[in-house]
Structure 1
Amino acid sequence: MASRAVRRWLPNQHGAWAMLVVPFLTGMFLGTPTPWHAVLLLAWLLGYLASFHTQQWLRLRRHSRNPRAARRHALPARVFGLALLPLAAVLVVHAPWLLSAGVCAVPFLAVNCAYAWRNRERALPNGIAAVIPACGMLPVALLLGGGDLGDAWRPALACLLYFAGTVLYVKTMIRERGSSPYRWASALWHGGAVAAAYGLHLPVPTVAFFGVCFVRAVWMPTRGTVRAPVIGAVEVILSLALLGTLVAA
């Protein structure tokens, strides 16, 4: 019973959690970690949970024949949204520039809500729209820790290259398995990511990391069916490896 309640309130999306946390932690460790990072991280996760349930409510309200399906997401959306408000207020009082950062995320949230309303959450543009603000948390966390914005753009771009590539790669493994166009697109993206990492003078371990991602993008879709939890677990491990290469350098 308790596990069912947890599943209803917390999305079981391993890749999404990694995408939310890894850029944030990278920015935090590249700067100076402070107690405010804990407040911001909690607010960030609450914002994700509120938006997730809001999008599910929008999707099911329009497309489900069961009226209870949408209502199941209404309460979590309200609870997480209300829990977010005092944290957001405290953060804005402490660092008013965070309000501007939040405003920058609104267009991407609007895109996600629009795709949910149309029941096309799995569309490629929607996935990319979710990746961009998540990677944008890297400079936010870095600035909150007293870092310089000039030190943020290259690691943020590294995160964007990886997580956007993950959107393509996971499609080749699940929903678009067997699709030659998607496999080519994924391989080209990951090959380009290796070249971009080298051209941006990212640390050698980070360039090697993208080489590993390229091999997995080309080789894994040829291995037949792989269970979704296994795919998600591998992506979590790779996300942590990216965090390690960026911070260690």
Structure 2
Amino acid sequence: MVCDAEVVSAAGRRIRRWIPDQHGAWAVLAVPYAAGVLLGDPVWGQLPLFAAWLLAYLAAYHAQQWLRLRRLSRNPRAAARHVRPAVVFGASLAAVGLPLAALHPWLLLAAAAMSPFLAVNAWHARVNRERALRNGVAAVVPACGMLLVALRLGGGTLAEGLGPALACLLYFAGTVPYVKTMIRERNSSAYRRGSVAYHACALVAAALLDPWLAVPFALYLARAAVLPGRGLRVPAVGAVEVACSALLLAFVVAVF
């Protein structure tokens, strides 16, 4: 029994070393993509697209951690432990993504459009400012752009996807300052005011995209105004955001 527990514990540590514990990232990776699939005609090619998207995130995460720790850590092993995951995930991305790009060459243009945002994230990692507000927003933009990619692969058009992608961007960009008010900047009144002001503007912008979107965005504004300072634990904050993300997906698919 002790040996089995040790094996499970060792396996868990290995998984944690390879899979980031940035739980909020998974919603922004999945929801815009899922919206793009559901708004178009689902096709089998969207499955390897999603696999390539997740592999790209994992490879980029470990490459950025290598950049950060190589510069900051006095322990060479701290940076070195990210090399193998970066290489494995990068090679897997090539194995999945290159055949898909051969079938749909326009995907290379989509990847090129996302690369400046990846460069911004890499720079912030190198200077150890990954938690900067602009870095979070830079990460959100290409994630929301995946809605356009998934929709296009399913036969939709960029014009059809623009409104849904903007709705996703309005929500997920708002999660960057809001989550800070709940955790790292929970004592900052300036962050709270800024978060509430952003969500008020996002409510107006979302209503202009479609009046029905005022419903979820009014709830997002309420949570930004009411929940900070309530002492919610991190799992509770995450659960609220999962529910908000699911609500966004439901409304985006319903109204567009």
TM range (shorter): over 0.9
Equivalent residue for 1:226, pick from 222, 232, 236: 232
Corresponding residue of 1:134:
143
Output the CA distance in 1 between the equivalents of 2:38 and 2:103: 20
User: Does the 8 Å CA contact 2:182/2:229 hold for their aligned counterparts?
Assistant: no
Name the stretch that deviates more: 232-241 or 53-62: 232-241
Output the CA distance in 2 between the equivalents of 1:220 and 1:162: 16
Aligned-pair CA distance for 1:164: 0.5
Q: How does 1:76-225 map to 2 (within 5 A)?
A: 76-202=85-211, 204=212, 206-223=213-230, 225=231
Aligned-pair CA distance for 1:230: 2.1
Aligned-pair CA distance for 1:233: 2.3
Moved over 6 A (4+): none
Specify the code of the residue in structure 2 equivalent to 1:158.
A
Aligned-pair CA distance for 1:148: 1.8
What SS is found at the alignment partner of 1:121? coil
Aligned-pair CA distance for 1:76: 0.3
Aligned-pair CA distance for 1:109: 0.5
User: Does the 8 Å CA contact 1:14/1:233 hold for their aligned counterparts?
Assistant: no
Corresponding residue of 1:10:
19
- Gapped regions of structure 1 (runs ≥ 5): none
Equivalent residue for 2:44, pick from 35, 38, 53: 35
User: Does the 8 Å CA contact 2:148/2:162 hold for their aligned counterparts?
Assistant: yes
User: Does the 8 Å CA contact 2:27/2:245 hold for their aligned counterparts?
Assistant: yes
Aligned-pair CA distance for 1:128: 0.5
Q: Does 1:51 align with 2:57?
A: no
Aligned-pair CA distance for 1:200: 1.7
Q: Report 1 or 2 for greater relative contact order, CA contacts < 8 Å, sequence distance ≥ 6.
A: 1
User: Does the 8 Å CA contact 2:186/2:229 hold for their aligned counterparts?
Assistant: no
Structure with the greater alpha carbon radius of gyration: 2
Output the CA distance in 2 between the equivalents of 1:91 and 1:151: 23
Q: CA RMSD in A?
A: 1.0
Equivalent residue for 1:243, pick from 230, 240, 249: 249
Output the CA distance in 2 between the equivalents of 1:226 and 1:72: 34
Aligned-pair CA distance for 1:6: 0.9
Q: Deviations over 1:211-246 (max 9, x none)?
A: 1000000001131x3222221222122111111111
- Gapped regions of structure 2 (runs ≥ 5): 1-9
Output the CA distance in 2 between the equivalents of 1:218 and 1:179: 13
Aligned-pair CA distance for 1:63: 0.7
Quick one: percent identity of the two aligned structures? 56
Equivalent residue for 2:81, pick from 67, 72, 77: 72
Output the CA distance in 2 between the equivalents of 1:227 and 1:62: 33
Q: Deviations over 1:6-37 (max 9, x none)?
A: 11111112210000010001011100111100
Aligned-pair CA distance for 1:122: 0.2
